[in-house]
Amino acid sequence: MNLLIDYLSKLITEERRQVLEKVLDQRTRYITVVLEDIFQPQNASAVLRTCDCFGVQNVHIIENENEYRINPDVVKGASKWLTIS
């Protein structure tokens, strides 16, 4: 993984790399969000965006009755930065 990071680091400025590292270092695993039986998927996608905004790393989705599919138009890429299980 370090080889990939080393390679990609060459494609951005040093300032941008420092900002990315600072943001990633501030993410938290002390708070976990749990969503259960989501009825309106766009609301859950908005919650994922909010978790990303506040630096929450872990989101658990419980699907007893309703299956959740990430809506890319609503989530706006935030799901790429979260650990969703």
**CATH code at 53?**
3.40.1280.10
Residue type, 53: C
Q: Residue 44 in contact with residue 16, Cβ under 8 Å?
A: no
Could you list the beta-strand ranges (E) of 1-85: 28-36, 56-62, 83-84
The stretch 70-78 carries a mean pLDDT of 80
What percentage of the chain exceeds 90 in pLDDT? Answer: 29
Domain that holds residue 33: 2-84
Q: Structural domain tally of the chain?
A: 1
pLDDT at position 79 over 60? yes
Q: What is the mean pLDDT of residues 2-16?
A: 85
pLDDT at position 1 is 55
Q: What is the pLDDT of residues 30-59, one digit of tens each?
A: 999 999 998 888 888 889 999 999 999 999
